[in-house]
Amino acid sequence: MFRVTLDGMIAVYLVVIMCALFFAWVAAEIFRRGRENRRRKHFVICGICDHVFEDLSDDDLAECPHCGAMNERERVTEI
């Protein structure tokens, strides 16, 4: 048997809990970024009027509902 002090047990318990929380946070962040990328894939910014709209079709060209201009799909990046 190992002799373990109360201080050692508390330290091990805290380290295990902190590691579990860290890995849960990393996993949540990875899933959040994946959801954001999938959602952002459908956003289009009009080159004429700068209107941002969502187009769920897979066409290469999307028509702006605001001004009617045809726009190529580009990846929308945040500033």
pLDDT in tens, 35-77: 888 777 788 888 889 888 888 887 888 889 989 888 887 766 6
Q: Higher-confidence residue: 16 or 55? A: 16
Check pLDDT > 80 for residue 14. yes
* Long-range Cβ pairs for the range 71-75 (8 Å, 24+): 71/44, 71/45, 71/46, 71/47, 73/44, 74/44, 74/45, 75/40, 75/41
pLDDT on residue 78: 62
